[in-house]
Chain A
């Protein structure tokens, strides 16, 4: 049996001001780390929810983004009859698409942010399985009409239903708002392929082709055939892996956030250490008394370490509570792959909160170890004489 935990808890309550201040320092550190992790987690979710594992994205050989890719209509015509492509009625499930960026003033940035504009055919819309129309209607063929993702509608006042956007050679009417679930489609604008390609003067300079394989087993075969065909000059990958690779735009953010958190954690550990050293100094006589009563050096060490861990656990829980309101909050981040803004939600998952608590406990452990050791090493008589 050890020194009762109530002894530590009550001591934390007795010196409540120091406890609150120290715990708050730890809480803020945890909050910064969790905010970054929630952001990166949200970004990952957005990309990982994008793309269908049955679908293959075809771009020009050497391209790693749709924006820098180029595909001609002739290539598209060559791809359509290939074996292994699913059919919707008589029509092969293949979508020729053009991707570019347009500049729109946003809530956060009145000077404008880049938004992905995607020109596609009705089949392209049909191939986005989870995609639903939230408001209005789909764009008409040959019309200057667009449907915007729900995040675009939320973040860009000029891109709401019924508004007109100026790009290309004229004004485009927002006729609908689409809901792509958690995917990055929410950050895109869809319009008619032919109208967009003609407005941007790229009638034959299109970006990519999306193909749906008949079943999972044909996906690798289809990809191999496409990659091996030198005549086509294309590179193929699953749509899912394409989006997953884009998560790298969160990496810089993640490393920066973790770096800042670690620096803050060092500070918080020292704060905890200071608090615990003060506690050990003030309770020297209690330590001596406990030793006289028969508690071992190990018992004293454990008790003070536990107190530091309790203190940091309070900080950890408060830190989690601080970031909880961020959950599902929408934000945007510029992607270096698409050169446009991707909107996504912060995701404060239970796993992330657990990380925060563990992070806090590590701070408590580091901060408590030396003071606890000094408490355990005190000579009984020296400790008893200390007042």
Chain B
């Protein structure tokens, strides 16, 4: 049986915004096994990003349990979480979030700065990652000298350079044109198929979800049972 990578139990996140009590995620039970490419789908405000943030330990749940790679995230302090995230998680943002003053290779090298690798090893790893995403000839370009699609591919290289167990993507094609989106999704699919990376991707685009091996839908802060789609889903 495949190894469980993510397991949540009655996971709930509530917060107060402008005196309103908001339930962002309600009693979610989800399991993701190694090698899956899961698309988390749902309309805005359905709680899909909140779930992703909880998996990445960027936020803490109000109640319920979350185990990622066998680690109970609630038991770790800030420093340990930072270290854990660096070692096990690769994160891809909707708006790429590259550091503007650093070149492509420097951006990709950044997470490796927290490892024990030598400068030479870091640069080798970063170069390999950039070659993998097809940007071997753009190593020293600054983000502003790249197209949106190329920027997102640099961000993907940065997410995989530490060889993480889990890649999390938050609307990775949200800011891209159709052509670039296709490239990015093909790349994620390749990472899943050829390199057996476990990927969880948040998207509201049904086309993007086709690249995933499994889609799970959220509606009004609740996770729908597997295979079920919202009533108004087209």
Contact = CB atoms under 8 A, between A and B. Distances in A.
A295 B111 CA distance: 8
Contact of A6 (B78, B100, B106, B114): B106
B93 A293 contact: no
A228 to B, nearest CB: 73
Contacts of B111: 293-294
A262 to B, nearest CB: 35
A263 interface: no
Interface string A286-314: 10111111111110000000000000000
Contacts, number: 71
A286 B58 contact: no
A295 B112 CA distance: 11
Contacts of A13: 101
Interface stretch (B68-76, B82-90, B208-216, B225-233): B82-90
Nearest to A10: B101
B97 A289 contact: yes
A133 interface: no
A1 interface: yes
B97 A285 contact: yes
Nearest to A9: B101
Contacts of A14: 100-101
B37 interface: no
Interface residues of B, number: 26
B121 interface: no
A293 B58 CA distance: 11
B102 A293 contact: no
A6 B102 contact: yes
Interface residue range, chain A:
20 to 34
B59 interface: yes
B106 A296 contact: no
Interface string A7-33: 100110110000000000000000000
B85 A4 contact: no
B53 interface: yes
B102 A10 contact: yes
Given A291-B82, A294-B86, A380-B58, A7 B102 contact: yes
30 contacts: A1-B113, A2-B113, A4-B102, A4-B110, A6-B102, A7-B99, A7-B101, A10-B101, A11-B101, A14-B100, A285-B95, A286-B97, A289-B93, A289-B97, A291-B82, A293-B86, A293-B91, A293-B111, A293-B158, A294-B83, A294-B85, A295-B82, A295-B114, A296-B79, A296-B83, A297-B78, A298-B79, A380-B58, A381-B59, A384-B58
